[in-house]
């Protein structure tokens, strides 16, 4: 016998959720294969917190020390350690925009449209003067600001197709 660590998963998926993931992936793959979709037309976005002070993994902080020496000390990150929220949009050839969310602000649907989506659309128009945003596909998770009716209406008006994203699915980007 041997002792092993359990595998941690964020959500226990039902069979229906697993089937939905497979169905969406097959549909997307078929669209790429028949040429109706191109990878360069997909923009994906996600939000991430970036801490001001980087703490490496325990293995990275390991070092050889003499018998009479103490190991270096690494202070654990505090609960209220300074950090910034970034919303990042990118395509297959690199970032479209990187938006730093103002300190103390939260991303609601209005903030998302005004400060994230509108600059993305403006940047797309710069890159694709003749086609604009028409035919662009946006892959985003199902966070509340992303699925709000105002956001969906804005994207539809701009000619941007919203790609389906199954619940509890890791970002496909």
For the chain, what is the HEC assignment? CCCCCCCCCCCCCCHHHHHHHHHHHHHHHHHHHCCCCCHHHEEEEEEEEEECCCCCCCCCCCCCCCCCCCCCCCCCCCCCCCEEEEEEEEECCEEEEEEECCCCCCCCHHHHHHHHHHHHHHHHHHHCCCCCCCCCEEECCCCHHHHCHHHHHHHHHCCCEECCCCCCCCCCC
Q: What pLDDT is stored for residue 27 in this prediction?
A: 93
pLDDT reading at 89 higher than 90: yes
Rounded to an integer, the average pLDDT of 108-129 is 92
pTM of structure:
0.77
Q: What pLDDT is stored for residue 59 in this prediction?
A: 67
Q: What pLDDT is stored for residue 171 in this prediction?
A: 60
Rounded to an integer, the average pLDDT of 85-106 is 91
Rounded to an integer, the average pLDDT of 160-169 is 86
């Amino acid at each position: 016998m041997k002792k092993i660590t359990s595998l941690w998963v964020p959500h226990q998926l039902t069979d229906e959720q697993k089937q939905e993931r497979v169905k969406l992936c097959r549909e997307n793959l078929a669209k790429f294969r028949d040429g109706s979709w191109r990878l360069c037309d997909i923009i994906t976005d996600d939000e991430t917190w970036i801490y001001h002070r980087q703490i490496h993994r325990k293995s990275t902080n390991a070092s050889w020390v003499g018998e009479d020496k103490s190991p270096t000390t690494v202070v654990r990150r505090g609960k209220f350690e300074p950090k910034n929220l970034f919303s990042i949009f990118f395509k297959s050839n690199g970032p479209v925009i990187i938006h730093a969310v103002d300190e103390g602000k939260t991303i609601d649907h209005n903030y998302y449209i005004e400060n994230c989506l509108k600059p993305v659309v403006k940047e797309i128009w710069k890159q694709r003067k003749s086609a604009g945003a028409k035919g662009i596909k946006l892959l985003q998770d199902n966070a509340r600001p992303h699925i709000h009716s105002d956001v969906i209406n804005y994207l539809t008006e701009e000619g941007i197709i919203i790609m389906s994203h199954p619940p509890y699915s890791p970002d496909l980007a």
